Structure 1
Amino acid sequence: MTPAQLLSDAFGRIHDGGVAVLDGLDPDQLATRPGPDANPVGWLVWHLTRVQDDHVADAAGIEQVWTAQGFADRFALPFEVSATGYGQSRLEVGQLRADADQLRSYLTAVHEQTLGYVAGLDAGDLDRVVDHRWDPPVTLGVRLVSVINDDQQHLGQASYVRGLLGL
């Protein structure tokens, strides 16, 4: 298995899991919080997609799907276009209202861009430093594994919250 195949499989699992967790949920269910500070399914899927979009586009040196394909305008969220959900307040989390088709469409578009990028990677590419702000500096391989790990954690949270909805 090549590094590109391995990464494609991991990102494919995130996409497929995201599509599954959204299946059949209406906007109210997507916005339901199991507690006052808990994150709802819709926000979790949006956030994991934004993180993947932001981090992969940065590493690839390409524009994010969020802006390039007009998703920022379609979602019309009341916060900065650059927001990925990191560090958002309870109030900001509650401001995301979207339907499953909208979230699925964005997730799929990001997935396609991610697959297009990782398809061209080989083992040597994974050692390229993409972030010098850390010690040690972050390589492409570490960044992609970090995105996969973060996305999988949020996908698990979304699945758990969906279960709490009795679905």
Structure 2
Amino acid sequence: MNAVFRQFIESLEPSFQRLMRMDPVTVATLPRETPLSGIYLFSENERHLYVGRTNTIKKRLQNHCRPSSGHNSATFAFRLARQITGHTIATYTEHGSRSFLEKHPDFSHVFLQQKERVRNMDVRYVFEPDPMRQALLEMYVSVSLGTPHNDFDNH
């Protein structure tokens, strides 16, 4: 294995342990001292559901659950709404597209409910300023915890 890559990989477990030791908060109770960049983890009833990465943790977490957030900002809630409504397969046509679903009354109601659900979930985060380590740590946490709402598929 490449020595530089090995260093990246070996540095992930301590960050993962810091993440898991964090006492969870909610988006509504984020402390002032929330770090700027890193990865975050949404959990519900001690089940880890989704991990993401960002350079603006507080803002990104708020975007996930703000009632006015759209499908590009509240991506986790959108995934949950897709699952609940059965619209799980992405379409690349006007009918059934993300923007179409977001405007459909039945889907938009569920989407709004899921943004509120995400707002009340437990959230943990860990500081990580380096974009390469963020990407690797996001995948490491997702694989380690088996987060069901992450995928790393290309679109």
The reply to whether TM is greater than 0.5 is: no
Higher share of residues assigned helix: 1
- Relative to the length of structure 1, the TM-score reads 0.28
Higher share of residues assigned strand: 2
- Relative to the length of structure 2, the TM-score reads 0.30
